[in-house]
Amino acid sequence: MTDCVFCKIISGNIPVKKISESEKSIAFLDAFPLAKGHVLVIPKNHHAKIQDLSKEENSDLFSLMHDVVSKVDALTGATLIAVHNGKDAGQEIPHVHVHLVPRDSSDSAGAIHSMFHGTVSLSDSEIDEIRKKLV
């Protein structure tokens, strides 16, 4: 896609501080880091959501992420691994990307539950209906 910032990175039109690269994916420092060492891992082909990736692209992406996360983790001893899968999930750039964000107890980011205003109460029948849709 010509207007996708990540596609421009892949094509070399936008320079990045590359960390690592594989056949189908690339890892680089985030231009707008949430913490020192914030890395993005993206597929080289444009796909908006994880389920749009081929199995080979998915495997390559998460294999590269697996290789890079221990390096990121070594910075502080803890790493948030996050994927926003779609606009309503908070995805700002519609190109699959995995965030590797070094964390420590002083960053005040909190746990995933702190992103939401509470939990959802569901009846047993609602839980059963959801499960039926997922299996």
Active site residues: 97
At 126, the amino acid letter reads E
Instruction: Report d(CA 14, CA 85) in Å as an integer.
Output: 24
Would you give the DSSP letter of residue 55? H
| Helix, strand or coil, per DSSP, at residue 113 | helix
Instruction: Report d(CA 41, CA 134) in Å as an integer.
Output: 28
